[in-house]
Structures are given as structure tokens and as C-alpha cells.
């Protein structure tokens, strides 16, 4: 029986200059470049087996069979990869996140990067990281950046074959911490994909960000290159605030901050007054990220762990890009 199997591990990434808005919904071409940090402690492991024994594709996440949108997005991605490999065997995909899915942490970046790398290996498609990032992008935009470790930039382009991620600096270049703060989960009204589309079409602030994003990207590249943590933190916060102003001024209004987010933002301001270098960024869940330097991480974590509305904190370091591993999940 014809059968081929591979397993990959991919880390999540935290956007320092965010990807927000597409110029092409199908090809997942972004309106702007984005810059992120691949982190070491939030990862997805995925085993993919293509085999004649499967009549259809199956996708399990944390041992639960997935249906609906989650399953459809995986099948669509498998179809893309199969067409590239000119092969049509059905697949079983098993993924496991090393963080609780119920915590609502974004898993599409690590998820699609692991799926792409494992599938390409199983399909014997010999691709370099640039090519893998272009394919991964089609599953979920931010996953293009998780192919690489350390500090990564995803380049916008009008052509599908020119929009890929590249490493700006490896994980050892600039040692910093990303403390992920997990609050009790709120039900999300819109997916990130829907929210991005709504805000591009309806927010008057969307264009305002396009006018300044090149400057923000320049500042972020410089901050990374020169290991300037203050510039990195200030630039990440400013971009985060712009993206959330876009969300808030969309129709319908998209609001991702909860009372707790604002309380932690105020705490971060107090940290800074007390000489602790800390900055925030927030994505489309209610969780948030505190960017800090290694020497402040333990103290910040200790303070956060005393706060009753914080369910969990995860201290992340700069991490590696997606890679093939030997331990299959099935």
C-alpha cells in the first residue's frame, strides 16, 4: 500500500509590526510588510500521512476530530500542496499544541507552518525556506513568518511568487522575552480573517496606518539591528494601538481589548516608571504579550502571578523556525 508520513514542529510568532489587511484574499497577499518574533514556548507538532488507506482527509487537533471551518482550511491547504506535488492521496493530519487550545492563543501561525513543513516532506517536495513560507502563507498569512526562527519580516508583493518571509536576525541576535498573559476567555464574535476584511472595508483609520507603516517598519528593523529595546517596544506598542484603533472604528465595531487588557497596560506603564523595561502588544484574542528584557522577566512574572484575573503566563524566548522531527504523533 502506498503511504508516506512526516512530522514537523513549528513555533508561534508574535507580531511586532502587524499584518492587518489583505490585497488578495485568496492568495493571501498582505497590504503591508510585517515583522515578528518567533517564540520558543508555544508550538504545534503535526504528523501528516498520505496513504491509499484513507478514503478522505481527516484532521485531529489535540485528539479531537475537527469539522467545519477548521477542517476545511486544512483540506484546502492539503489540496494546494497535493497539486504542487502532483499527487492525490488522501491524508490523516494529527496536530498537537503544547498550550491549551481553550486558552484561545493564536494557533494558526504555528499550525499552518507545521502542516506545510510536514506535508512537503511527506510529499517529497524539496523546497527551501523561502518557498515553504510562500506555501504556508496560503494557509494562514502569519504562518509564513513561523517558517523562520528569530526576527522575521514578511514581504508584501502584488505577485503570489514574490510574497514570502525572510529572517532579519537569528534567535541569538537579541535576547528578549515575550511574556504571554492569558485571561479568562471571551467568546469571539469574528475570526481574525473576518475582522481584517471588515476593517479594511469600513474603517477610516485603515488608510491612516498605511501612511505611517513604512516608517514603523524602518524603526523596527533599526531597533532589531541595533538591539535597541526601547525603540522596539515603543514601535510595537504604537503599531498595536493603530491596529486596534482601526478595529474600533470599523463597522461593526471590533473590540478586542477587555477591562483586564487596560489594567495590564496601566501596570506596564507603572513598570516603566519604576525602571522596568516592558511594552505591550495585543492580537485579536483577549490575551496579550508583554515584551521585556531577560533581567526583568522573573519579577514581572511574579507580579502577574499574584493577579487573580490572569489565568496563566508563559515566558517565551526567541525561538527556532519550523523543522522536521522524528517523533510521529501516530
Tell me which residues touch ligand DP6 (CB under 6 A).
15, 18-19, 28, 34, 106, 108, 140-142, 192-193, 196, 283-284
The Cα 317–Cα 178 span in angstroms is 6
Q: In whole angstroms, how close is the CB of 328 to ligand DP6 at the nearest point?
A: 26
Helix (H) or strand (E) holding 45: strand 34-51
Q: In whole angstroms, how close is the CB of 269 to ligand DP6 at the nearest point?
A: 23
Q: CB of 84 within 8 A of CB of 135?
A: yes
User: For ligand DP6, which is the closer residue by CB, 142 or 167?
Assistant: 142
Q: Which residue is nearest to ligand DP6 (CB)?
A: 141
User: For ligand DP6, which is the closer residue by CB, 19 or 174?
Assistant: 19
User: For ligand DP6, which is the closer residue by CB, 8 or 105?
Assistant: 105
Q: In whole angstroms, how close is the CB of 256 to ligand DP6 at the nearest point?
A: 9
Q: CB of 198 within 8 A of CB of 252?
A: yes
Q: In whole angstroms, how close is the CB of 25 to ligand DP6 at the nearest point?
A: 8
User: For ligand DP6, which is the closer residue by CB, 18 or 209?
Assistant: 18
User: For ligand DP6, which is the closer residue by CB, 193 or 323?
Assistant: 193
User: For ligand DP6, which is the closer residue by CB, 14 or 313?
Assistant: 14
Phi-psi region of 104 (alpha: psi -120 to 50; beta: other; left: phi over 0): left
Q: In whole angstroms, how close is the CB of 64 to ligand DP6 at the nearest point?
A: 20
What is the full DSSP assignment across 111-147?
HHHHHHHHHHHHTT----HHHHHHHHHHH-TTHHHHT
Backbone angles phi, psi at 252, to 5 degrees: -70, 160
What is the bridge-based pairing of β-strands 278-282 and 323-325?
unpaired
The Cα 209–Cα 280 span in angstroms is 19
Q: In whole angstroms, how close is the CB of 278 to ligand DP6 at the nearest point?
A: 20
Amino acid at each position: 500500500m502506498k503511504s508516506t508520513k512526516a512530522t514537523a514542529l513549528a513555533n508561534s510568532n508574535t507580531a511586532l509590526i502587524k499584518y492587518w489587511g489583505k490585497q488578495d484574499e485568496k492568495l493571501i497577499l498582505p497590504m503591508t510588510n510585517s515583522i515578528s518574533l518567533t517564540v520558543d514556548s508555544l508550538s504545534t507538532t503535526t504528523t501528516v500521512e498520505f496513504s491509499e488507506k484513507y478514503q478522505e482527509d481527516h484532521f485531529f487537533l489535540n485528539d479531537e476530530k475537527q469539522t467545519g471551518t477548521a477542517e476545511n482550511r486544512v483540506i484546502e491547504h492539503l489540496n494546494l500542496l497535493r497539486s504542487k506535488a502532483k499527487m492525490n492521496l488522501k491524508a490523516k493530519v494529527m496536530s498537537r499544541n503544547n498550550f491549551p487550545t481553550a486558552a484561545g492563543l493564536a494557533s494558526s501561525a504555528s499550525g499552518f507552518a507545521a502542516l506545510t513543513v510536514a506535508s512537503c516532506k511527506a510529499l517529497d517536495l524539496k523546497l527551501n525556506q523561502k518557498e515553504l513560507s510562500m506555501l504556508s502563507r496560503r494557509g494562514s498569512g502569519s504562518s509564513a513568518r513561523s517558517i523562520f526562527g528569530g526576527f522575521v519580516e514578511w514581504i508584501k508583493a502584488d505577485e503570489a511568487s514574490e510574497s514570502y518571509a525572510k529572517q532579519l536576525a537569528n534567535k541569538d541576535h537579541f535576547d528578549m522575552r515575550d511574556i504571554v498573559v492569558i485571561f479568562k476567555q471571551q467568546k469571539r464574535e469574528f475570526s481574525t480573517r473576518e475582522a481584517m476584511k471588515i476593517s479594511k472595508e469600513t474603517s477610516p483609520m485603515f488608510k491612516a496606518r498605511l501612511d505611517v507603516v513604512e516608517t514603523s517598519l524602518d524603526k523596527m528593523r533599526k531597533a532589531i539591528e541595533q538591539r535597541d529595546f526601547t525603540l522596539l517596544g515603543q514601535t510595537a506598542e504604537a503599531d498595536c494601538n493603530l491596529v486596534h484603533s482601526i478595529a474600533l472604528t470599523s463597522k461593526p465595531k471590533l473590540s478586542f481589548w477587555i477591562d483586564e487588557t487596560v489594567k495590564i497596560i496601566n501596570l506596564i506603564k507603572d513598570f516603566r516608571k519604576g525602571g522596568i523595561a516592558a511594552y505591550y502588544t495585543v492580537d485579536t484574542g483577549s490575551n496579550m504579550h508583554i515584551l521585556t528584557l531577560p533581567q526583568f522577566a522573573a519579577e514581572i512574572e511574579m507580579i502577574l502571578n499574584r493577579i487573580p484575573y490572569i489565568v496563566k503566563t508563559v515566558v517565551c524566548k526567541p525561538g527556532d523556525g519550523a523543522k522536521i522531527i522524528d517523533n510521529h504523533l501516530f
